Chains A and B, each alone.
Chain A
């Protein structure tokens, strides 16, 4: 057992865990942040995607101990809530980009990170390529891609708006 300290959604948390504790287990079982899902547990489906040190990663395939050296963690709980959805969550809602919702936290985190890394400069081809690591078994990808492109467009509009205006 060892102490692992991680900053998750802006809050620094320390828990005593086993060496083999995965980041996703740390989030779900030790911090109670169950928005991050475990789908396949084999690094294929992407339901466990969180952002670690500014990059989307699969939290089922990173040890919590190793994550501690790689920067801050952002999970779906840190992105927005029911009162104030993040732009990506809003776009998923508006474009009906989910049905059962199981893959959605991972999709939203991967998509959020994609828009950030590309500064909103996305095409359908890039979105489809960069969502290869996220599987959805009910909606299909059509509306998900639409939602990501809409959020990217909104991101560009905000980025190009003149500063200092109310």
Chain B
């Protein structure tokens, strides 16, 4: 890691002010992606602004029919929340499948969504559930937020404050983990709200998380795994690497989506 100065913000206002005044600044939440990236010298900010303790980014609560989760909530906090378990149990199960217990104690939902790693779990839930990303200045619909590998609609210095999840009728998550990293080799989040089915796939797409519209249409009206038994995404849009080639990933996307549809109200994590 190159040298930098550390700053701890005590309020959202202070964090934004620090960002505006400091050179080459980056926000630090749990740091479980940022610090490894900095150790590899793939990022070299001159100033880190610690936002993990901001009161504005904390808390999990219901507002109308919307589950609002503060951006600084850890994966452990989401996985252990009785409110999340009651309203969107698949989301609690997803959070509990990230990394390992030590990682879940520190890594945050906002950090994961802002980073938009193509194999991260949260983007699948955010996109499938049609969540809104609430920032310091606006609300961004999930369909507009994710813009390719590690790319999002966030502007320079824009900070995620919370994610707002409309509570669906039901949802399920199917994940096939890379056994070493526990990132998704392929994972699929299926949700039903107002009769509409939305399927979001992570870990597999060349451009990161994507909606699998062919599966959505096949599952519309009757969300049964048998309806997508022979359906696979086009493999030329899928990642191919040492862990899995595109054809294998296309098959995995089919498998995890069927499992998600078979585990509505929960998850299948393998």
Q: Judge if B116 is at the interface, Cβ distance under 8 Å.
A: no
Q: Judge if A55 is at the interface, Cβ distance under 8 Å.
A: yes
Instruction: Give Cα A110 to B105, complex, Å.
Output: 12
> Which residue from A18, A110, A133 sits with its C-beta under 8 Å from B99?
A133
User: When A57-B106, A132-B182 are in contact, do A20 and B101 touch as well, CB less than 8 Å?
Assistant: no
Q: Which residues of chain A are within 8 angstroms of B263 by Cβ–Cβ distance?
A: none
Instruction: Give Cα A20 to B99, complex, Å.
Output: 24
Please name the residue on chain A nearest to B181 by beta carbon: A44
Interface residues of A in 46-70 (CB under 8 A from B): 46, 49, 55-58, 61-63, 65-66, 69-70
Q: Which residues of chain B are within 8 angstroms of A134 by Cβ–Cβ distance?
A: 100
Would you call A130 and B101 a contact (CB within 8 A)?
yes
Please name the residue on chain B nearest to A4 by beta carbon: B6
Q: Judge if B52 is at the interface, Cβ distance under 8 Å.
A: yes
Q: Judge if B12 is at the interface, Cβ distance under 8 Å.
A: no
Q: Judge if B103 is at the interface, Cβ distance under 8 Å.
A: yes
Q: Which residues of chain A are within 8 angstroms of B28 by Cβ–Cβ distance?
A: 63, 66
Q: Which residues of chain A are within 8 angstroms of B5 by Cβ–Cβ distance?
A: 2, 19
How many Å from the CB of A43 to the closest CB on chain B?
6
Would you call B105 and A55 a contact (CB within 8 A)?
yes
Would you call A56 and B101 a contact (CB within 8 A)?
yes
Please name the residue on chain A nearest to B182 by beta carbon: A132
Q: Judge if A153 is at the interface, Cβ distance under 8 Å.
A: no
The stretch of B32-40, B128-136, B145-153, B225-233 that contacts the partner chain: B32-40
Interface residues of A in 127-151 (CB under 8 A from B): 130, 132-134
Per-residue interface assignment for chain B, residues 97 to 133, with 1 indicating a CB less than 8 Å from any chain A CB and 0 otherwise: 0011111011000000000000000000000000000
Q: Judge if A42 is at the interface, Cβ distance under 8 Å.
A: yes
Q: Judge if B3 is at the interface, Cβ distance under 8 Å.
A: yes
Q: Judge if A41 is at the interface, Cβ distance under 8 Å.
A: yes
Would you call A61 and B32 a contact (CB within 8 A)?
yes
User: When A19-B5, A61-B106, A69-B53 are in contact, do A132 and B101 touch as well, CB less than 8 Å?
Assistant: yes
> Which residue from B6, B100, B102 sits with its C-beta under 8 Å from A63?
B6
Q: Which chain A residues have a beta carbon within 8 Å of chain B's beta carbons?
A: 2, 18-20, 22, 41-44, 46, 49, 55-58, 61-63, 65-66, 69-70, 110, 114, 130, 132-134
* Additional 4 contacts, C-beta under 8 A, given A19-B3, A58-B102: A43-B102, A44-B180, A55-B76, A133-B101
Q: Which chain B residues have a beta carbon within 8 Å of chain A's beta carbons?
A: 1-6, 8, 28, 31-32, 35-36, 38-39, 48, 50, 52-53, 76, 99-103, 105-106, 180-182
